[in-house]
Chain A
């Protein structure tokens, strides 16, 4: 296999493994399983872990 082919294979496998691992880690932390984003969602705190979400004042 040429270096490009090896790179393609490695990147493909890395993407799959990292997405699965990150999803499992997020689930273990009780974080949102919804891929739709949270800040536009009125129930962000209900989807997330029991710890209160804190945001920083920009001002």
Chain B
């Protein structure tokens, strides 16, 4: 099958074009690094099917980043039948730099002038025909977003693929053209393919080329000794880059006639003046984040509860009582949660009534109602809120705002050894840790990459949402605390703060290194595409439900079994659950969690919290599923026809164990920061290698344990706050002094200190 490659700058629309051509739903992000590997699809409208390969976005074919290496190697080694070079028509000069490099390769090429609708909207005039005559390859105007010109593009690309093309260079008029010619002849003599491209790269002293062709590289070095340019000296890299841009400006840029709007700020510029403000940027981000959580979790939307007439939305006495609010208006997320919770509770009740009516044995009723339905429904109820939060984050990302967040954070944290580039994978962790960890491949500094992978799980992913919501809701229900959305929001912020602190400490001590420059193109703001959002939302919903009815269902069945059988495999009714295998394991581990508040100090059923935390290792949703499964068995006065789900399950466990608020907050913090799910652990192992992975496991356990203990201790005995503040202040003082060179923490050798201590 023929293969066409899509190559171009980041944010030029390659993946949008790829989706349009192949019918795929590949994710379109608004920052570099969204695609770090190639992706293939099939286009079937040409005379023969064509495989379309979406390459990572690159600014040049020099091997400075993994994306550039992947794209370059693909074009040179895999020899696609045609390269479709997507050029952002609103940014012609910068995009054509890559085009001039691809032109040097012996491969058919077509230029797709994307975002042509934006050019037309801005009043500029782009003469594609003129550009085509000058550049010597087909040029097609398209709008990948609107699906305009795609068939014409593929038709021209197919025609181009039928005619082999010899590479040509735009560096003909430069002072080093003869050197390029000599290198080309030398490489042709060695039967090297794409001799012209490799010759130009050799003259640039490209490290890959120097390694591959040492003899020719020596020739270049010799020439360099006797060469001197007025402006650039003997920096051939700079000479070539300058020559390319001069050629582009002189020959290609005339195809674009811009409407004079030099005094006019673009819409994006105006928005950026506010959102990326030096002082207000971060507070605005925190407010936006709070707004998302408020719309998803609040039971007092816009804090209107006090102003409303009593019982206005409560719908007392109806089947929808409390769904829309009780004392305040529920946010859309909570309304949807309540509706789904009502549906699943009703269904659970009908099934248990039917089974009891059919005189089915108590264990079978328990297995179905608690083991299967209790666990799954406990998690399923959170689906609307997970989707809503996912939708909000997707809107922020697709609109271009998330790219600004990394930019704002870079400004501040660069002083502490952290670049904004590291925040991009972290922010992705809000969705799922797995792709976020893989995205760290875009970080050039290995130590920064390891540090980032370690803290990504601290950014609570969608799977941890049920834990936050259910525990916060349980706290609100049991202790009458209002504004449980603030607890959820607060926990997200805690995760971010702990992540940042951990990275700062690592980068200032064991993971010290240079802060790499952070160069990122800020995409223009635009309204997210509704269709793309809905497709991803549907996909997310589908996989969440699939996960609930597979992994979570299987887990809760196993949990039910081992909570209803003793070590001698005797069946135990609900009242004897404390003698079960599960309870035995939980009680064995319970003392370990005493400093965190949910250990030996809580009631007879406290082991449930320990067991829930452990089952969360399989999938984080299992924490609440475990509560859902066990709560119905444990709650005093259990009635077979009632099932407890989600928040009710947590509330009943709080009542049964008499656990306090500080311990519950510590429980949330522990689950947020501890070892993530198996999938994320496997990804971390693959990305880090065995030795660093083992240290990472220790890091996760220690951090979650210490931070959760802090929360419990401060919650129980407020004065301990001063001790912790003093310790943290000392730690940061050491870090700052180390950064300023006043002390050298690298010289502190713990083993030597321990030996000295023992001798004394």
A interface residues, Cβ below 8 angstroms from B: 1-2, 4-5, 8-9, 12, 15-16, 19-20, 22-23, 32-37, 39-47, 52-59
Contacts and interface: CB of A to CB of B under 8 A. Distances in A.
B536 interface: yes
A4 B36 contact: no
Interface in B350-381: 355, 358, 360-361, 363-364, 367-368, 371-372
B672 to A, nearest CB: 17
A5 B361 contact: yes
B709 to A, nearest CB: 30
Interface in B525-562: 535-536, 539-540, 542-544, 546-547, 550-551, 553-554, 557-558, 561
Interface in B312-370: 355, 358, 360-361, 363-364, 367-368
Given A2-B360, A9-B364, A57 B41 contact: yes
Contacts of B146: none
B551 to A, nearest CB: 6
Contacts of B682: 33
Contacts of A32: 679
A9 B360 CA distance: 12
B29 interface: yes
A4 B554 CA distance: 20
B434 A53 contact: no
* 4 residue pairs, one from A and one from B, having the closest CB atoms: A37-B543, A58-B23, A19-B554, A35-B547
Contacts of B371: 12
A46 B41 contact: no
A9 B746 CA distance: 60
A56 B683 CA distance: 28
Contacts of A33: 434, 678-679, 682-683
Interface string B16-38: 00000111111101000011111
B364 A41 contact: no
Given A12-B367, A40-B27, A53-B40, A34 B45 contact: no
Contacts of B39: 44-45, 52-53
A55 B434 CA distance: 22
A42 B554 contact: no
B76 interface: no
B245 interface: no
B540 A43 contact: no
- Interface bin, chain B: 35 or more
Nearest to A40: B536
B13 to A, nearest CB: 15
Contacts of A54: 40-42, 51
Contacts of B44: 56-57, 59
A4 B364 contact: yes
A8 B434 contact: no
Contact of A16 (B40, B431, B535, B554): B554
B435 interface: yes
Contacts of A19: 550-551, 553-554
Interface of B: 21-27, 29, 34-45, 51, 53, 355, 358, 360-361, 363-364, 367-368, 371-372, 431-432, 434-435, 438-439, 461-463, 535-536, 539-540, 542-544, 546-547, 550-551, 553-554, 557-558, 561, 619, 677-680, 682-683
8 contacts: A19-B551, A34-B435, A34-B683, A35-B547, A45-B39, A54-B40, A55-B23, A57-B45
A32 B539 CA distance: 15
Contacts of A52: 38-40, 53
A36 B462 contact: yes
B25 A4 contact: no
B357 to A, nearest CB: 11
Contacts of A35: 543, 546-547, 550-551, 619, 677, 679
A55 B43 CA distance: 9
A23 B619 CA distance: 13
Greatest chain B CB density within 10 A among A5, A41, A54 is at A41
A15 B554 contact: yes
A3 to B, nearest CB: 10
A11 B490 CA distance: 42
Contacts of A34: 432, 434-435, 679-680, 683
A55 B358 contact: no
Given A16-B557, A55-B42, A57-B41, A42 B27 contact: yes
A8 B542 CA distance: 26
Contact of A55 (B24, B29, B536): B24
Contacts of A4: 355, 358, 360, 364
A9 to B, nearest CB: 7
The winner among A5, A33, A39, A58 for most chain B CB atoms within 10 A is A39
Nearest to B371: A12
Contact of B540 (A9, A40, A44, A47): A40
A52 B355 CA distance: 49
Contacts of A46: 36-37, 435, 438
Contacts of B36: 42-43, 46
B434 A36 contact: yes
B45 A59 contact: yes
